[in-house]
Amino acid sequence: MFDLETLILDFPILDQSIQGRRLVYLDNAATTQKPMAVLYSSRHYYEAINANIHRGTHHLARLATDAFEKARQTIATHLNASTPDEVIFTSGTTDGINLAANILALSGKIKAHDEVIISTLEHHSNIVPWQMLCERTGAVLKVIPCHEDGTLDQAAFTSLLNERTKILSLTWISNAFGTVNPVFEMTAAAKQVGALVMIDAAQAAAHLPIDVQTLGADFIAFSGHKVYAPTGIGVLWGRTEVLNLLPPWRGGGEMIKEVTFAKTTYNDLPFKYEAGTPNIEGAIALAAALDYVNGIGLDEIHRHEKNLIKTAAEALSSIPGIHFYGPSDRSGALSFNVDGIHHYDLGTLMDQMGVAVRTGHNCCQPLMARFSITGTVRASFALYNSEKDVIALAAAAEKAVSMLR
């Protein structure tokens, strides 16, 4: 059962005042706050079982290794992966996308004049790694345009697909506009021409269930800190048969079976892609975060958040000159500007009223250029937000606008 008042108590950071006002935290697309279950798991690791993993035979090393690999299993179950070996721990979505792009560039499978497709909605982390791959291989980057409502032009996407298409890398939910892309259909279309598919699930992970077998993509990346876990931990899920054909990227401990000065034999999955000491505490805390959200139910969380976004859009719509970006059926984020007012000024005044929102281009400069703006005010929602937060958001925005005009 979704009991909001009880859930809020799980997040101690929310019990504070900003500028003498109750904190209203609406910057969840940037990072989410952490429940006690996650905070406890992090502290318990360092207080009770802190040791390096996989190498030691002593008691603490065994406990830490068991907890780390149990976390991998928890994440594999959450994703419905066919095996935990498909779960590769990274530092976050950016690291995961870079890992995939680099091993594809090193593989020799991407040739000059091959094509990589991304979209106008992408975060810089799902643009720059593919530009770098194209620079290294001679491949060509193609971009799916978007409509005025912030949805992708599916006819244009279809026209881009051809026998030269080798990679489609697509965000599931836009961090800037809250657009939910039809990733199932677009993945299926890309697979029809033999392309590999990467899904950036940084925003989706906190709002939607993810079933990698149903989705049909080859890679999915997400960050722990977007889904109530600490920063510095993330996951790249990769299909076994794809990962086994690709070379390692980073070299060092753990990713090897045997090292001599003449030759190194690489380890099996997932260790092939986990060089060095991993973020052990982060992996354990990420598993605790996923247990937490699954205990509530992602469908329940998503329903709650979508109601808040709809209510927020309605509450803000009375402000003269306000413009919303993205489709009406958004997920996670609500972005807007007000005529004649800079988004930074608006967000700064709202902060003085205890309302934390994000301003700027949200690491989506090409998307902002598409709409001839430098940035937006973005309110983004999580399971612990309430209608009181929406009322505070609207009141702060209205007062800030009146002060700036």
The pLDDT-based confidence of 405 (bands split at 50, 70, 90) is confident
Average pLDDT, the chain: 97
The C-alpha torsion from 186 through 189 and 194 to 197, rounded to 10°, is 10
Say if CB 265 and CB 83 are below 8 A apart.
Answer: no
Q: What is the pTM of this model?
A: 0.97
Contact yes or no for 126/175 (Cβ under 8 A): no
Cβ atoms of 249 and 90 within 8 Å: the answer is: no
Q: What is the DSSP letter of 395?
A: H
Q: What angle do CA 182, 185, 186 make, to 5 degrees?
A: 80
Give the SS3 label for residue 249: coil
CA torsion, points 283, 41, 65, 57, in degrees to nearest 10?
Answer: 150
| Cα within 13 Å of Cα(257), Cβ side | 8
The amino acid occupying position 56 is G
Assess whether pLDDT exceeds 80 at residue 235: yes
363 is catalytic: yes
Token output for 321: 């000159």
From the candidates 134, 146, 363, 364, give the one annotated as an active-site residue. 363
Number of DSSP helices (H) and strands (E) in the chain, helices first? 14, 17
pLDDT of res. 15? 95
Q: Can you say whether residue 252 is alpha, beta or left, with left for phi > 0 and alpha for psi between -120 and 50 degrees? A: left
Is-contact 100 316, C-beta < 8 A? no
Note the maximum CA span of the chain.
72
Coil, helix or strand at residue 250: coil
- Residue 403 amino acid letter: M
Residue 130's pLDDT band (boundaries 50, 70, 90)? Answer: very high
Q: Is the dihedral of CA 24, 26, 30, 31 positive or negative?
A: positive
Q: Give the containing element (helix H, strand E) for 238.
A: strand 234-238
Element (H, E) at 386: none
Q: Which domains does the chain have, with CATH numbers?
A: 4-30+297-404 (3.90.1150.10), 39-295 (3.40.640.10)
Mean predicted confidence (pLDDT) in 135-145: 98
Q: What percent of the chain has pLDDT over 90?
A: 98
At residue 2 the predicted structure's pLDDT band, cuts being 50, 70 and 90, is: confident
Amino acid at 58: H
Q: What is the pLDDT of residue 191?
A: 98
- Whose CA is closest to 171, among 212, 129, 125? 125
For residue 204, give both structure tokens: 């989706």
Q: How confident is the model at residue 56 (pLDDT cuts 50, 70, 90)?
A: confident
pLDDT of residue 55: 81
Q: Which of 55-59, 107-111, 118-122, 345-349 has the lowest mean pLDDT?
A: 55-59
Confidence class for position 361, pLDDT limits 50, 70, 90: very high
pLDDT of residue 1: 63
β-strand partners of 234: 90, 223
